[in-house]
């Protein structure tokens, strides 16, 4: 019996100025998938733990099952697979929960079938799972989940994915207020068109962020972490967002924003101590609004999803 366990990391999509084109992976938290090859064809989701019974066991409606089916179709394979999911990432949180299931499942099946595809070649199958889950095949969670580090999607057609070098000393704080936002809903509120002025600001920031990361220029990273497109609209769903942002900026963190489609917020800091301070301040802020929250402080994950030893 061939069986494997894979961990897939939480991911922060957009990173302020890179709506749909930039994301990074963190070392913790992560989701787990256990995959077993079956002698009969067909996909079965045997069990899902940690989701409170909310995720579908139907493999055609679950991102893990959907991604594996897309992968097997591509290989023209009728391999049967049994899937177990252990969800640690909260659902609808903006931490790339749906992406993590797809990513872990793809890395696991590819390993069990002796790696016919590269990590990069797995990306389109994970994107199809995202399309099924929220109506949009964005890659800014799945690509960093598969490749690790910061990943830029230069174009979607054709898919051109670039791993962006980043400094070793960089800490991410993720604060998840106990609210749930469906990605499809927080995409629906965005405008179809943007002002030229905003496009100019956003372009300048994303380009500068790439240089800041590659050259380890922390000041430039900090100056570039702003979003004039999605944040002004989506931040209304996060209680006291502007006030938290002011408080976080006062800690000396490099920057602060919404993780993916929210409601999780994130900050990047040069020192772990600052990253922890950001967590304390933000948790305190939410608690004053009677909103419980969880905080995770992590280094940047450089390898993407990994096999259990």
- Smallest separation (angstroms) from ligand HSE to the CB of 123: 14
- Smallest separation (angstroms) from ligand HSE to the CB of 18: 8
Q: Does 13 bind ligand HSE (CB under 6 A)?
A: yes
Interacting residues of 45 by C-beta distance below 8 A, sequence separation 6+: 57, 58, 59, 62, 64, 65, 83, 84, 85
Q: Does 235 bind ligand HSE (CB under 6 A)?
A: no
Considering all CA atoms of the chain, what is the largest pairwise distance in Å, rounded to the nearest integer? Answer: 59
User: Between residues 43 and 230, which has the closer beta carbon with respect to ligand HSE?
Assistant: 230
Task: Out of 183, 293, 298, 301, point to the residue binding ligand HSE (CB under 6 A).
Answer: 183
Task: Out of 4, 20, 36, 113, point to the residue binding ligand HSE (CB under 6 A).
Answer: 20
Q: Does 260 bind ligand HSE (CB under 6 A)?
A: yes
Q: Tell me how far apart the alpha carbons of residues 149 and 247 are, in angstroms, rounded to a whole number.
A: 27
Q: Does 180 bind ligand HSE (CB under 6 A)?
A: no
- Reference 54, options 30, 87, 99; nearest CA is 87
Please name the residue ranges forming H helices in 29-171.
Answer: 63-75, 97-112, 119-134, 142-147
User: Between residues 74 and 187, which has the closer beta carbon with respect to ligand HSE?
Assistant: 187
Listed as own residue / partner, the contacts of 236-243 with beta carbons closer than 8 Å and 24 or more positions apart are: 237/179, 237/181, 237/186, 237/262, 237/263, 238/177, 238/179, 238/262, 238/263, 238/265, 239/177, 239/286, 239/289, 239/291, 240/285, 240/286, 240/289, 241/265, 243/285
User: Between residues 138 and 245, which has the closer beta carbon with respect to ligand HSE?
Assistant: 138
- Reference 19, options 220, 244, 233, 231; nearest CA is 231
Q: Does 187 bind ligand HSE (CB under 6 A)?
A: yes
Q: Tell me how far apart the alpha carbons of residues 186 and 132 are, in angstroms, rounded to a whole number.
A: 16
Interface region with ligand HSE, contact rule CB under 6 A, candidates 48-56, 84-92, 137-145, 160-168:
137-145
Interface region with ligand HSE, contact rule CB under 6 A, candidates 13-21, 197-205, 242-250, 287-295:
13-21
Task: Out of 27, 140, 227, 231, point to the residue binding ligand HSE (CB under 6 A).
Answer: 140
Locus of tokens 């899902």: 48
Task: Out of 6, 9, 10, 14, point to the residue binding ligand HSE (CB under 6 A).
Answer: 14
169-189 in b/e burial notation, b at 16+ Cβ within 10 A?
A: ebbbbbbbbebebebeebbee
Locus of tokens 């045997």: 46
Q: Tell me how far apart the alpha carbons of residues 128 and 174 are, in angstroms, rounded to a whole number.
A: 26
- Smallest separation (angstroms) from ligand HSE to the CB of 96: 6
User: Between residues 35 and 255, which has the closer beta carbon with respect to ligand HSE?
Assistant: 255
Site size toward ligand HSE (CB under 6 A) is 12
User: Between residues 160 and 288, which has the closer beta carbon with respect to ligand HSE?
Assistant: 160
Interface region with ligand HSE, contact rule CB under 6 A, candidates 100-108, 115-123, 135-143, 238-246:
135-143
Q: Tell me how far apart the alpha carbons of residues 142 and 67 are, in angstroms, rounded to a whole number.
A: 11
Report yes or no: 252 and 244 within 8 Å, Cβ to Cβ: no
Q: Does 110 bind ligand HSE (CB under 6 A)?
A: no
User: Between residues 17 and 72, which has the closer beta carbon with respect to ligand HSE?
Assistant: 17
Task: Out of 138, 270, 277, 285, point to the residue binding ligand HSE (CB under 6 A).
Answer: 138
User: Between residues 110 and 177, which has the closer beta carbon with respect to ligand HSE?
Assistant: 177
Chain residues in the site for ligand HSE (CB under 6 A): 13-14, 19-20, 94, 138, 140-141, 183, 187, 260-261
């Amino acid at each position: 019996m061939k069986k494997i366990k894979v961990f897939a990391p939480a991911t922060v999509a957009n990173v302020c100025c890179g709506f749909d084109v930039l994301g990074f992976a963190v070392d913790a938290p992560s989701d787990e998938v256990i995959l077993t090859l079956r002698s009969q064809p067909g996909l079965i989701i045997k069990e899902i733990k940690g989701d409170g019974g909310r995720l579908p066991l139907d493999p055609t409606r679950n991102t893990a099952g959907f991604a594996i089916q897309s992968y097997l179709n591509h290989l023209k394979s009728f391999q049967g697979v049994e899937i177990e999911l252990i969800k640690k990432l909260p659902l609808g949180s903006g931490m790339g929960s749906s992406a993590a299931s797809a990513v872990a499942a793809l890395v696991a099946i590819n390993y069990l079938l002796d790696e016919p595809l590269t990590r990069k070649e797995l990306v389109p199958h994970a994107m199809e799972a995202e399309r099924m889950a929220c109506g949009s095949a964005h890659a800014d969670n799945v690509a960093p989940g598969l490749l690790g580090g910061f990943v830029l999607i230069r174009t979607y057609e054709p898919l051109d994915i670039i791993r962006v070098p980043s400094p070793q000393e960089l800490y991410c704080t993720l604060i998840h207020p106990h609210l749930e936002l469906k990605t499809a809903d927080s995409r629906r509120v965005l405008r179809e068109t943007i002002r030229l002025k905003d496009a100019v600001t956003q372009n300048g920031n994303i380009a500068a962020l790439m240089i800041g990361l590659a050259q380890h220029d922390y000041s430039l990273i900090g100056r570039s972490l702003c979003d004039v497109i999605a944040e002004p609209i989506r931040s209304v769903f996060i209680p006291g967002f502007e006030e938290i942002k002011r408080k976080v900026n006062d800690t000396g963190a490099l920057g602060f924003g919404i993780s993916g489609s929210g409601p999780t917020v994130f900050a990047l800091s040069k020192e772990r101590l600052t990253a922890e301070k950001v967590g304390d301040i933000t948790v305190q802020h939410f608690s004053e609004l009677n909103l419980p929250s969880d905080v995770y402080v992590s280094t940047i994950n450089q390898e993407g999803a990994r096999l259990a030893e």
